[in-house]
Amino acid sequence: MFYLNDEFAESFQATDPYKMLKGMEGNVYRQVKTRKTFQFSLNGKGYFAKLHSGVGWLEILKNLLTLKFPIIGARNEWEAIHRLQELDIATMNAVAYGERGWNPASRESFIITEELTDTISLEDYCKQWTDNPPDFRTKRELIENVAGVARMLHQNGICHRDFYLCHFLLHQGAEPFPKLSLIDLHRALVRKNLARRWIIKDIAGPLLFCKDDRIE
């Protein structure tokens, strides 16, 4: 299964996308045994790629035994991005996706998203408040913005599962201000009926950042 926008279809023409992505050089943001996230440039534009290799049966069984949904590749993020876009929640724009292999334990997959430029994570932005606090209106609008995203997600059966301020990107200089984009949907959970515990888990994420009075 593959999706490539026009630019990547031309760039990957007659090549193995997996082999090409593995051979690319870029700024590695995260690399673990089964997943690599890196930033790269193509035709003067910035992108992020996530490469997934097989997680193995042991990891799948461990998740199932603890009643967790195993994340075995990029499809989860691909589908979550499109669901958020349907709900008009600002997020990443996926431009390429692929998966191969019938065995879920060894399946390979990838997803490529456009780089969100001129942004700062909301966590880093709020860290500056100790020495350079914003006005009350800015604080209120940011809190309402985050709360609004949480409400929209949970009302539509979506749990981010990593709902921390570092996964909100604040677009600097955007009009109207503030504008936030939600990223890192790798572990997002989509259900018709979202259990209350998932909602509580999400909401607890931003509150953890408040414990040292940074955003009070």
For helices 196-209 and 136-155, give the axis angle rounded to 10 degrees: 160
Angle 46-178-83 (CA atoms, 0-180°, nearest 5)? Answer: 60
Q: Which one from 6, 88, 162, 213 is the annotated catalytic residue?
A: 162
For β-strands 45-52 and 108-114, DSSP reports them as: antiparallel
16 noted as active-site residue = no
Where residue 44 falls (left for φ over 0; alpha for ψ -120 to 50; beta otherwise) is left
What is the set of active-site residues? 162
